[in-house]
Chains A and B, each alone.
Chain A
Amino acid sequence: MSDAAVNPVLGAVPSSAPVVAQVSIGRIFLEFLIIGATSFGGVVPYLRGSLVSKCHWVDDKEFVEMLSISQSLPGLNATNMAILVGAKLRGALGSIAAIIGICVPGAVLMYCVGIFYRIHGEHIWVTAALKGVAAAAVGLILSTVVGLSEKSLAGKFDFVFIALTVIAVNRLHQSVPRTLIVVGILAILFHRPRNKQRESIGQ
């Protein structure tokens, strides 16, 4: 809303939820192709910049809601968001256009990287650089873990479920699906709905 007040061009547009006229499939594909080609270092900020600020295909509230759906479902945030936004704009075809668009640039790049690495992977320069890259990637994943913990945990007791999951996979060598089901059900039961009445009064 404050954006609309600041931006004189947007100010003329009614500030309610974006009115999306029929967006063409080609346009959806192109926009997600651009996101797929430019989103270095994490897709979410680029998605917001493009879909909310530039194209006005979803508003900020919708974006956050879609992101929360994307995070609770299996699948990558980036591709789940593409599916959800594509579906909102043009149904199944929109979803397909969006997910192909966002995947193609990275896929082509990694296709070439794979071939290059297969040929030159043993080169001493490459090996040395990759050791540093892999170490940096570990730090990056850890920062994601910290960020998610700050944002999405409901209470201190959740750290027990995190620990259980890590121990099951890394120490007890349980498979990911079994861990997911067992610890997941425990955690869901722990967070089961209770005092429905009180909650609804409180809201």
Chain B
Amino acid sequence: MNQIPALIRVFMYLSILTVGGGMAAFPEMKILTVDVHKWLTFPQLIHLYSVGQMAPGPNMMMIVSIGQWAGGILGALVVLIAFFAPTGLLAFIVARLWKKLEKWPWRISIQKGLAPVSIGLLLAGCFTMAKGAITGVETAAIAVGVLLILLRYKVNPALLVLGGAVLGVISFMPK
């Protein structure tokens, strides 16, 4: 049951889907890691992703946990490299070409065109996640509360996610 080749394939593929943010790859990540390879369950994926929002650094570090579960420390390392090498290489190459591309009229078209699609992908990822995360009135209220606070005030989002944990304990602990 060597999962390493599958981990490399899946996370290299997910890497190039992260247009606009890590969440854009979430629907595909759910299908591949949960349904196809069964490395974890859907609730576990949601939990790891959400907890990952409290960690510092790039916000998809939860992939390390998936790699560790499926393939130990080697799995964790392999997943990191597979997930960041393809897009990293692309960014490196584009950085070199950018000055030349500056005058290319289609560059602006591509940027303008990709903006709504990447927002749509984020939203689609968000809905996929909401299907598992919003299970009743309490969770809906927490999500809406966080959204409204972030739109109105400058608060560190990590603190609000931590606040969600406190509210979760208050709402869902069996009395």
Contact = CB atoms under 8 A, between A and B. Distances in A.
B160 to A, nearest CB: 6
Determine which residue in B91, B111, B151, B172 has the highest number of CB atoms from chain A within 10 A of its CB, and name it.
B91
Interface string A157-171: 011111111101110
Counting contact residues on chain B (CB < 8 A from A), the size range is 35 or more
A77 B21 contact: yes
Contacts of A39: 56-57
Interface in A136-169: 136-146, 148-149, 152-154, 158-166, 168-169
Nearest to B173: A128
B169 interface: yes
A24 interface: no
Interface string A62-85: 000000111111111111100110
A99 B84 contact: yes
> For the complex, would chain A's binding face be called helix, strand, loop or mixed by DSSP majority?
helix
Contacts of A102: 57-58
Nearest to B111: A72
A74 B18 contact: yes
B115 A76 contact: no
Interface in B118-149: 118-130, 132-135, 138-140, 142-147
A107 B150 CA distance: 26
Given A41-B156, A114-B48, A74 B139 contact: no
A192 B109 contact: yes
A41 B27 contact: no
Contacts of B24: 176
A25 to B, nearest CB: 16
Of A77, A149, A170, A186, chain B has the most CB atoms within 10 Å of the CB of A170
27 contacts: A40-B56, A42-B158, A43-B58, A68-B111, A103-B80, A110-B63, A114-B48, A117-B65, A130-B51, A132-B168, A132-B169, A133-B50, A133-B168, A136-B53, A137-B164, A143-B150, A143-B151, A161-B113, A161-B116, A165-B120, A170-B127, A176-B28, A180-B117, A180-B121, A183-B120, A188-B114, A193-B105
Closest 4 CB pairs of A and B: A132-B168, A165-B120, A136-B164, A114-B65
Given A41-B158, A107-B61, A124-B174, 4 more contacts: A74-B15, A110-B48, A134-B49, A136-B160
Interface of B: 15-25, 27-28, 44, 46-66, 68-69, 73, 76, 80, 84, 87-88, 90-92, 94-96, 98, 105-106, 108-130, 132-135, 138-140, 142-147, 150-151, 156-169, 171-174
